[in-house]
Amino acid sequence: MKKLRNISNILIMAIAIAAVFTSCAKEPTAAFTYSPENPVQYDVVTFTNTSTEADSYLWEIGTGTSTEVSPAVILSDAGDYIVKLTATGEGGSQTIEKTIAVSPLNHYLLDDEVIEITTDFFWYSAMGSTYLRLLTEIEGQDNPDLIKLYPSMGLGELPGTYTWDNDTKPEGTYNYGYTANYAGMSWDWTGVSKAGSSDLTIVETETGIYKITGTMTISAGNYDAEWNFVEESTKILTISYKGAITPLEK
């Protein structure tokens, strides 16, 4: 009888110790980062799990679920993805949620506004200049927006990295412009090159297909009655394009 009582006491003590350890277990903290920070359509996005006090994980990414510690997924559609991570451990579970904005493959940013590019860049010649144009249809707007890029090498060996230069235009430099709601001789506002962190890179990724990237500071405003440009603000234009460049019409 005494032996049974001892066993019973040992069991009670073991249960009590287990309960103490369970109650002392820390609650998990769910946390993660992801890369690249500004993904583009079809990018492989890698999620790095930085959770603590957890030993199992459930990811809900929008493309499906995963129980990997740090999964990597292809986000093939443009738009916002809600990503949830639930971290579970001895002390319970916690869920964290983040929204990831995936930009279209071909797009540009005008300040923080993402504008999808659905047409090709094309060569254009006017008033003694030959340059690259892009006309982009804007939802709810009567006329397209116009981007103009003037690589100094013109129709020659186009691939290269260019820095901003609006004056002497030596080889390897360029200038640029932007016109909103462009309709020939009327527009909402226009913009010209502005000295600053403005760069342009054009790479021929395959025959006839070019990758055009760059971040440019635009002096935005309009012209007065004497056609002097008056700056009203500055804007940041960031281009991400891969496609053809239509040649000049003959």
Residues 53-102 pLDDT 10s? 999 999 999 889 999 999 999 998 889 999 999 999 999 999 999 999 99
Q: Which tokens is 193 given?
A: 């090159």
* CATH 3.40.50.2300 fits domain 27-102: no
Per-residue CA distances from 94 to 51, 64, 142, 211, 236 (Å): 10, 19, 49, 42, 39
Q: 167: which strand partners?
A: none
Q: Which residue is associated with the tokens 């983040």?
A: 98
Query: Buried b / exposed e across 220-247, counting CB within 10 Å, b at 16+?
Result: bbeeeeeeeeeeeeebebbbbbbbebee
Residue in 192, 182, 183, 181 with CA at minimum distance from that of residue 222: 192
Q: What pLDDT does residue 4 have? A: 46
The domain spans of the chain are 27-102, 107-246
Q: Which residue is associated with the tokens 């009327």?
A: 186
pLDDT lower than 50: segments of the chain: 2, 4, 20
Q: What pLDDT does residue 76 have? A: 87
Residue 197, CB-side half-sphere exposure with 13 Å CA sphere: 5
3-state secondary structure of 20: helix
CA distance 1 to 113: 81
Per-residue CA distances from 216 to 21, 35, 145, 156, 164 (Å): 59, 24, 16, 23, 9
Q: What pLDDT does residue 152 have? A: 76
Sign, CA dihedral 160-163-166-170, equals negative
